[in-house]
Amino acid sequence: GAVVSQHPSWVICKSGTSVKIECRSLDFQATTMFWYRQFPKQSLMLMATSNEGSKATYEQGVEKDKFLINHASLTLSTLTVTSAHPEDSSFYICSAPGTSGRQRDYEQYFGPGTRLTVT
Amino acid sequence: AQSVAQPEDQVNVAEGNPLTVKCTYSVSGNPYLFWYVQYPNRGLQFLLKYITGDNLVKGSYGFEAEFNKSQTSFHLKKPSALVSDSALYFCAVRDSESNYQLIWGAGTKLIIKP
């Protein structure tokens, strides 16, 4: 099956600094990728849809200037948390739809997630 | 409005017993239904999906789910639970008109006791 990687798997940073998280589709191309945030014992919250070659689409309530998304190529999307604060500490997960079969059969393939802790 | 409900925050089952994790949905068109599992500090793994066809869908790790259109449900089942099945399970639905976006349930923590 399709594989999505994320880097780093965990990161600790100081308040006020910026952190970049990479999401890569390893054996398939992804024109669309999704970024989720997950709080402990809670469901996934969709933050934004990353589109290759165009601007990301952000969900309501997500600050565009704080969570910068760049979909630089068909296999890479990055999420940069700018001026991080302790409340940004969370588990960030990316996903990409598969490319085989008819569109309506697409599954989403998930990265392993990145644990961000802001001190 | 599209929605997915997982009415149980947690389900406790003894090892070897059958398990059921409940999911109901509400979408405007034909639903495309998915179950994913998440182990601690890990990403999500796909278990199974219903797109069309037989209402009983078989998936990974011995899990299966039954699509019930009249009850708008898609409950996850396994005949005999294993301790290693303990994890967080998410039901998700995709509206046929959406661009891959999934609508997620809140998740159900499954605990299998030896």
Report pLDDT digits (tens) over A2-19.
Answer: 789 999 999 999 999 999
Out of A93-102, B17-26, B74-83, pick the least confident: A93-102
R_g of chain B, CA atoms, integer Å? 13
CB proximity B104 to A under 8 Å? yes
Q: Render pLDDT for B30-86 as a digit per residue (tens, 0 to 9).
A: 888 999 999 887 778 889 999 888 999 999 999 999 999 999 999 999 999 999 999
The b/e string for A45-75 (b: 16+ C-beta within 10 A; e otherwise) is bbbbbbbbeeebbbeeebeeeebbbebeeeb
* CB nearest B100 (choices: A1, A32, A112): A32
Q: Are B4 and B21 in contact (CB under 8 A)?
A: no
Contact list, B32 vs chain A (CB under 8 Å): 104
Q: Render pLDDT for A45-92 as a digit per residue (tens, 0 to 9).
A: 999 999 888 899 999 999 999 999 999 899 999 999 999 999 999 999
In percent, the amount of chain B with pLDDT more than 90 equals 71
Cβ count within 10 A of residue B37:
21
User: What pLDDT is recorded for position A79?
Assistant: 97
Question: Does the pLDDT value for residue B89 go beyond 90?
Answer: yes
User: What pLDDT is recorded for position B31?
Assistant: 86
Question: Does the pLDDT value for residue A103 go beyond 90?
Answer: no
Question: Does the pLDDT value for residue A1 go beyond 70?
Answer: no
Q: Which residue of B has its CA nearest to A96?
A: B100
